[in-house]
Amino acid sequence: MTTKKEEAGKTGLTKLSDLYTLAKKSKKKKLAVAVAHDEHVLEAICAVDKMGLVEAILIGNEAKIKAIALNLKLDLGKMKIVNEVVDVNAVRIAVKMVKDKQADILMKGNVPTATFLRGVLDKENGLRKGDVLSHFALFEVPTYHKLLGLSDAAMIPAPDFKTKVAIINNSVEFMNRLGYAKPKVAILAAVEMVNESMPATMEAALLSKMNQRGQIKNCIIDGPLAYDNAVSMESAKHKGIVSDVAGDADLLIVPDIEAGNILYKAFGFSANAKLAACVLGAAAPIVLTSRSDTEESKQASIVMAAAISQ
């Protein structure tokens, strides 16, 4: 009889270092970095470049990029630098490179997120694929037996039902490309029982039924599930929950950005979790890191985007 950890090893990823193994097996990806004159971003890119996992194209103020590299003793090697001192133009160039298939991944550098996303969402020259961009994070939580996905913790404040379907589809498609044949998706709420006075539980039940009817594909959905019975088999058994997802979730879908953001930060600051994160829903994965993210997280985010199959 196999343990849960052994089963997870066969069907999914158990630690973030598995992403590096996946990326090494995949074709080397080209990374277009918009407004690349940023110390933390350049440090992360150089670290991943040394591993041979990406080929970076740096778009931004060339003088500043080289000054940062010199100051931090970073080896830019054979990285291509496209000199553009106007941030909006640098974003436009980086986005166009991805749109024209000259690059596989887009990354935000030293530019406001709003400016960056305007370039991504430009109706004529952007990377629109659907109506919804969503944030996806993959955590290595020390107390959990495999990696755990979370969406959406950063992009959509109060998703309606249609948007929640899009968030799930974005995340599931990405996890499929990471090698998850059918990720187990837990739709989180405060309780595991359907309660008409708690809209999150009603929507969770509908999402679960849509999955059963084949309206949401390539995953197994259950909900509503409270957080404890989504990640603890013992808790699920104690409450009499019979589910393929309960206690073994691959992906947590939260009801709103407050719940997602709190859980995201609790994992990192209280559970000492490691993470990788991307923005999904565009024509290519987007690496959009925060200055508060660790160097390890920035590197892992680039590697996760590089690890997906074409």
| Residue partners of 115: CB distance under 8 A and separation at least 6 | 87, 88, 91
pLDDT digits (tens, 9 = 90+) for 117-140: 999 999 888 998 877 999 999 999
How far apart are alpha carbons 72 and 42 in whole angstroms?
9
Mean pLDDT calculated for residue range 57-62: 97
Q: Does the pLDDT value for residue 7 go beyond 80?
A: no
pLDDT band, very low/low/confident/very high, at 5 (cuts 50, 70, 90): very low
**Average pLDDT of the chain, as a whole number:** 93
Q: Domain for residue 1, yes or no?
A: no
Q: Count Cα atoms within 13 angstroms, Cβ side, for 270.
A: 6
How far apart are alpha carbons 135 and 124 in whole angstroms?
23
Let me know whether 190 and 268 are in one domain: yes
- Of the chain, the percentage scoring pLDDT greater than 70 comes to 95
| Residue partners of 215: CB distance under 8 A and separation at least 6 | none
Q: Does the pLDDT value for residue 196 go beyond 50?
A: yes
Structural domain for 196, as ranges: 135-277
Q: Domain for residue 254, yes or no?
A: yes
pLDDT of residue 290: 76
Angle at 52 between CA 35 and CA 183, to 5 degrees: 85
Let me know whether 162 and 91 are in one domain: no
The closest of 64, 65, 119, 62 to 89, measured between CA atoms, is: 119
pLDDT of residue 12: 64
Q: Does the pLDDT value for residue 9 go beyond 70?
A: no
260-287 exposure pattern, b = at least 16 Cβ within 10 A, e = fewer: bbebbeebbeeeebbbbbbbbbbbbbbb
Strands 148-151, 251-253: parallel, antiparallel or unpaired by DSSP?
parallel
Token output for 210: 């849509």
Mean pLDDT calculated for residue range 57-84: 96
Q: Domain for residue 8, yes or no?
A: no
pLDDT of residue 10: 47
pLDDT of residue 242: 92
154-168, 249-263, 291-305: lowest mean pLDDT where? 291-305
Return the DSSP state at 245.
Answer: S
pTM of the model: 0.92
pLDDT of residue 263: 97
Mean pLDDT calculated for residue range 284-300: 87
Residue type, 28: K
Residue at token pair 């996303």? 117
Asked whether 164 and 180 are in contact (CB, 8 A), the reply is: no
Let me know whether 177 and 75 are in one domain: no
Let me know whether 267 and 149 are in one domain: yes
Coil vs helix vs strand at 68: helix
pLDDT digits (tens, 9 = 90+) for 256-291: 999 999 999 999 999 999 999 999 999 999 999 877
pLDDT band, very low/low/confident/very high, at 13 (cuts 50, 70, 90): confident
CATH number at residue 256: 3.40.718.10
pLDDT digits (tens, 9 = 90+) for 210-254: 999 999 999 999 999 999 999 999 999 999 999 999 999 999 999
Q: Does the pLDDT value for residue 176 go beyond 60?
A: yes
CATH number at residue 115: 3.40.50.10950
Mean pLDDT calculated for residue range 6-33: 81
2-16, 97-111, 275-289: lowest mean pLDDT where? 2-16
Let me know whether 286 and 273 are in one domain: no
| 183 preceded by a cis bond (ω within 30 of 0) | no
Token output for 173: 């498609």
Tally of domains within the chain: 2
Q: Domain for residue 81, yes or no?
A: yes
pLDDT of residue 4: 45
Task: Give strand ranges (E) for 37-104.
Answer: 54-60, 80-83
pLDDT of residue 78: 87
pLDDT of residue 220: 98
Let me know whether 139 and 40 are in one domain: no
pLDDT of residue 77: 85
Mean pLDDT calculated for residue range 11-17: 82
